[in-house]
Amino acid sequence: MTVAHALVDLECPHCQQTFVENAALVRPWGTAWCSECGRSFHLDPNAEATARMLQAAKAARRERRQRVGDFRSLLNEPVPRLARADSQRLMGDVLSTLDGLLERLDNLHRRHS
């Protein structure tokens, strides 16, 4: 789950390549830099092609806000405390998994030395 960035696909009017941009940077009357050809273009909301990209960027930002909101409420949910028996069993599982990994590592070392 990515919450860090809202991303949007932009199509460069110079080279017609599509590249990914941070939606936070894609604003009406702003400038976008094409990562394919290195040229810039204006994000004119009155031009059909750029209006579509601006709409997509807006939608991506809205989705990101939603995801961040979900993530925050997830963090705020109380974590149920494990019953003592459960936590002992969990610790037992962790230790035996660790044992297994260390054993495999040992075997690998033995085979290579």
Q: What residues make contact with Zn ion under the rule CB under 5 A?
A: 12, 14-15, 34, 36-37
Closest approach of Zn ion to the CB of residue 51, in Å: 19
**CA 3 to chain CA centroid, nearest Å:** 6
Closer to Zn ion at the Cβ: 10 or 64?
10
Closest approach of Zn ion to the CB of residue 8, in Å: 15
Closest approach of Zn ion to the CB of residue 43, in Å: 14
**Contacts for 80 with CB less than 8 Å, ≥ 6 apart:** none
In angstroms, the CA 94 to CA 73 distance is 28
